[in-house]
Amino acid sequence: MGAPGLKLVLAVLAATVLNAAVLCNGGITSSFVRKVEMTEDMPLDSDVFKGPPGYNAPQQVHITQGDHEGKAVIVSWVTVDEPGSNTVMYWAENSDHKNKANGKMTKYKFYNYTSGYIHHCTIKKLKYNTKYYYEVGIGHTTRTFWFTTPPAVGPDVPYTFGLIGDLGQTYDSNITLTHYEQNPIKGKTVLYVGDLSYADHYPNQDNVRWDTWGRFAERSVAYQPWIWTAGNHELSFAPEIGETKPFKPFIQRYRTPYKASNSTDPLWYSIKRASAYIIVLSAYSAYGKYTPQYMWLEEELPKVNRSETPWLIVLTHSPWYNSYNYHFMEGETMRVMFEPWFVQYKVDVVFAGHVHAYERSERVSNIAYNIVNGNCSPVTDQSAPVYITIGDGGNVEGLANNMTEPQPKYSAFREASFGHATFDIKNRTHAYYGWHRNHDGNAVEADTMWFLNRYWHPVDDSTSAKS
């Protein structure tokens, strides 16, 4: 073969290799390119941060699940003028009988900041599927809110969760929250995947920005529970100003029902809600072998009864599968520790935040590796969860818009935009998932997937397999 012939063969070979590389690419990198804009916090005098009128009026009102089954609610609020009452009055819709629950008050200092009077009160023994009104601020200025308890736990109970992460308090955060509130697929409970206020963005981690965040989020979280996951911005670890107790503001302000799931720490716990079993992990607490979190999860996973709660959902802050050039592989150590269990126990979906963009994976696992065999590529695995990064709430750090190329095979869909998602459980086999970008109308879903339950209907539900 002469030189021109050789060149031709090489060119064909090169083209084949190039083609193969393209075919090796993963799913869809969305063609939607969000305009690059400044992301900035809303100023302190914004209307969304305004406190309620009246002497010692309760503010920053928020609720979360208060037990393991969904029959209790933790109500939290802050008063600023004086401690005031710890009492919550509550009554079922269509009932004149008012009940009373008593809580506790706490406050904390962070460098030169002193918090208001933070109240936490657990309301127990509620009836399922019932609308309740509740009143806080007894004695001075009262405010009344309401929530609806979930249906009794059961395998075919429909229920709709919202997904929000890394929200912060920028103009984009406000759009995300409004978009969630106006989504026609009405989320009944938010699964929040960590990083709340980004107060640590300010000098001395100015905790006034925890207060503004509490007032901003109240319009949703006073009326429906948000299930809290701790992110790195909750760490508040600042030894340079003498603040060495990790998670102090977060733990003082946001309670979780961790004791109900035999956890020894508020940062990791589980709840049942309708047909879902939700496990919350802390990516910033120890999780190596023999640590409390490791031992708790090892005991916890075998307890999940899929005949009672078919949908097994995990929340953690740092994603295990992430093809953006931000926080790359930060979730890797936790993946190494826990992924074999997630496959063994057939977790349906893992939601994470941290990366300020959106990504959904195929069902893959990467558990074959040991230190000598070299098997270190993710493989398709129908027992594995789908991994979703939903850290796109719109906080002050801005958008993650730099992706690794080519898109890895495990990545089914990715887009650098702000938004939120909903996970709409229909029955024990089907759940409809949709991601909503902020730039669209309220009903528009930019990415969707029908989840097929891994325990009851474990057939291939990959979106790319069918396209």
Binding site for Fe ion (CB under 5 A): 195, 231-232, 354
Orientation of helix 208-221 relative to helix 171-182, angle to 10°: 20
Nearer CB in complex with Fe ion: 354/436: 354
150 prior amide bond cis, ω within 30? no
Closest CA to 59 of 197, 186, 218: 218
**148 and 131 Cβ atoms separated by less than 8 Å:** yes
Nearer CB in complex with Fe ion: 177/352: 352
Closest CA to 190 of 390, 50, 385: 390
Cβ neighbours of residue 361 under 8 Å, at least 6 residues apart?
A: 321, 386, 387, 388, 410, 411, 412
Minimum CB separation of residue 231 from Fe ion in Å reads 4
Minimum CB separation of residue 265 from Fe ion in Å reads 19
Other residues' Cβ atoms within 10 Å of the Cβ of residue 214: 25
Minimum CB separation of residue 319 from Fe ion in Å reads 10
Nearer CB in complex with Fe ion: 167/367: 167
Minimum CB separation of residue 168 from Fe ion in Å reads 10
Strands 447-452 and 411-415: unpaired
Nearer CB in complex with Fe ion: 234/300: 234
Other residues' Cβ atoms within 10 Å of the Cβ of residue 35: 5
Nearer CB in complex with Fe ion: 117/192: 192
Specify the DSSP class assigned to residue 6: H
* Burial of 376: CB neighbours in 10 Å, binned 0-12, 13-18, 19+: exposed
Helix, strand, coil percent values for the chain (each to nearest 5): 20, 25, 50
Q: Which residue's structure tokens are 């949703």?
A: 220
Strand 143-148: give its sheet, edge to edge. 99-102, 87-92, 131-136, 143-148
Minimum CB separation of residue 213 from Fe ion in Å reads 15
Minimum CB separation of residue 320 from Fe ion in Å reads 14
Nearer CB in complex with Fe ion: 121/390: 390
Secondary structure of residue 349 in the 3-state scheme: strand
Position with the least CB separation from Fe ion: 354
Three-state SS for 400-465 is: CCCECCCCCCCEEEEECCCEEEEEEECCCCEEEEEEEECCCCCCCCCEEEEEECCCCCCCCCCHHH
Closest CA to 189 of 261, 278, 257, 260: 278
Secondary structure of residue 339 in the 3-state scheme: helix
Minimum CB separation of residue 146 from Fe ion in Å reads 32
Minimum CB separation of residue 392 from Fe ion in Å reads 12
Minimum CB separation of residue 166 from Fe ion in Å reads 6
- Tokens standing for 433? 């998932």
Active-site entry in 68, 233, 327, 436: 327
Nearer CB in complex with Fe ion: 232/322: 232
Nearer CB in complex with Fe ion: 26/353: 353
Q: Which amino acid is it at 169?
A: Q
Q: ∠ CA 274-226-328 to the nearest 5 degrees? A: 105
The Cα-based distances of 81 to 9, 57, 59, 106, 426 in angstroms read 82, 8, 11, 14, 46
Nearer CB in complex with Fe ion: 195/461: 195
233 catalytic residue (yes or no)? no
Which residues are annotated as catalytic?
Answer: 327
